[in-house]
């Protein structure tokens, strides 16, 4: 549940169901350097009005990565792909998403360095289930084995 902070939304006459109040509080929090509070207000705005393009774009501005911002912009595009603010957001964020994807692809395509070879291989240890005192390392020939006949 959303706990509304004290302030304009709780003032007499303020409607708890008005998305614009929460949107404006989100803008104020974002401008005031309080991104978590801003996210809560924008999220509440979107709960009240999932078609609120400005809230989708504001929450995209608060995203930690271009890819996360792109996910929010996609929501705004679903509402109105031709809206000028949505088009502008796509033009800003998509090149960053594409560049990150290209860098990731280049990184994955680079050959991995080979592990350095050990000059002295470690001696093989006995299997975990071998009884103590048995010659589990195989130093004593197995005379019952057909290969030893």
Does residue 24 carry a pLDDT above 90?
yes
112 backbone dihedrals φ, ψ, rounded to 5° = -80, 140
Q: Can you say how many angstroms the Cα of residue 77 is from the centroid of all Cα atoms in its chain?
A: 21
Does residue 20 carry a pLDDT above 60?
yes
- What is the residue-averaged pLDDT of the chain? 78
State how far the Cα of 5 lies from the Cα of 17, in Å rounded to an integer. 14
Contacts of 19 (CB under 8 A, 6+ apart): 44, 45, 46, 48, 49, 52, 55
Quickly state the pLDDT bin for 76 (edges 50, 70, 90): very high
Give the tens place of pLDDT for each residue, 80-133.
999 999 999 999 999 999 999 998 877 776 666 666 555 555 555 444 554 454
Question: What is the rounded average pLDDT of the residues 40-53?
Answer: 97
Question: What is the rounded average pLDDT of the residues 128-147?
Answer: 47
Give the tens place of pLDDT for each residue, 78-91.
999 999 999 999 99
Instruction: Express as a percent the part of the chain with pLDDT over 90.
Output: 56
Question: What is the rounded average pLDDT of the residues 3-12?
Answer: 43
Angle, helices 66-80/84-109, rounded to nearest 10 degrees: 140
Instruction: Express as a percent the part of the chain with pLDDT over 70.
Output: 61
Top-confidence residue, 57 or 5: 57
Q: Name the DSSP letter for residue 102.
A: H
């Amino acid at each position: 549940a959303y706990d509304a902070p004290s302030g304009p939304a709780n003032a007499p006459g303020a409607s708890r169901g008005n998305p614009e109040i929460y949107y404006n509080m989100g803008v104020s929090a974002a401008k005031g350097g309080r991104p978590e509070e801003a996210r809560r207000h924008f999220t509440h705005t979107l709960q009240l009005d999932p078609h609120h393009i400005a809230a989708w774009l504001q929450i995209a501005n608060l995203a930690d990565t271009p890819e996360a911002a792109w996910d929010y912009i996609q929501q705004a595009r679903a509402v109105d792909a031709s809206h000028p603010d949505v088009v502008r957001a796509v033009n800003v964020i998509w090149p960053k998403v594409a560049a990150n994807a290209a860098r990731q692809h280049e990184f994955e395509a680079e050959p991995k360095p080979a592990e350095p070879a050990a000059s002295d291989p470690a001696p093989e240890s006995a299997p975990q289930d071998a009884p103590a005192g048995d010659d589990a390392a195989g130093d004593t020939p197995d005379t019952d084995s057909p290969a030893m006949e």
